[in-house]
Amino acid sequence: MARIKHTKNELRAQRDALERFERFLPMLQLKKMQLQQEVHRLDGELAAVRARREGVWAALGTWVRLFAEPVEPERLVRVQEIVLDEGNIAGVPLPVLRAVRCERAALDLFATPSWLDDAQQALEELARLKIEEEVLAEQRRRLAEELRTTSQRVNLFEKVKIPETRENIRVIRIFLGDQQTAGVVRAKFAKQRTAELERHDVPPGPVAEGAA
């Protein structure tokens, strides 16, 4: 704990600090709750996207076994453009996926099986899902980082700053109260001393040496 001055000005400063901490803490707690909800939501969305990818892969695996030769998916479907925007949750800037544009390789309808068109559609869906998963994962990473920082601040306010400031106020008030009590005692003692001197007709000041 940092040393504090036992003065009225310091007491006022500590009270102002406590007021600020108690005003900001509910806002931080609200932000923490919002971030926790958003991270939980993204966990669900990521799980759903991964499940969809696994389903498409399972279906695609059936088609791939039908190829007479090994197939390179990137030769059938190519990602042409990814359109991203920027969103904001609880003050955190986030990438938002707006569109994924893919380009399909031209197929010779007479020289290729009819189901190859379905395979291209599946590959295009896989590409979109992969990019969607990456964007969601980046959103979660940023929100989780902000949640970690916000949780640290909440703990700092709850467990350190507010208790420390309250203790500072208590210590300063006790010190100033003791000073005030001591001042009152000294004043009473001085008053009694003066009254006793007056009763004995003794001058309050020292008598000069050699005085008659």
- Select the highest-mean-pLDDT range: 1-15, 35-49, 170-184, 188-202: 35-49
- The CATH topology of domain 27-155 is Helix Hairpins (1.10.287)
Q: CA–CA separation, 116 vs 66, rounded Å?
A: 10
- The residues facing 93 across adjacent strands are 88
Residues 90, 38 contacting (CB under 8 angstroms): yes
Judged by DSSP in three states, 130 sits in helix
Task: Pick 87 or 62 by higher pLDDT.
Answer: 87
Return the residue matching tokens 């992969």: 130
Can you give the residue ranges of every domain in the chain? 27-155
Positions of E strands within the chain: 77-89, 92-104
64-75 burial, b at 16+ Cβ within 10 Å, e below that, comes to eeeeeeebebee
* 146-184 pLDDT, tens digit each: 999 999 999 999 999 999 999 999 998 888 877 767 656
* 33-63 pLDDT, tens digit each: 999 999 999 999 999 999 999 998 887 776 6
Residue 147: which of 44, 35, 38 has the closest Cα? Answer: 35
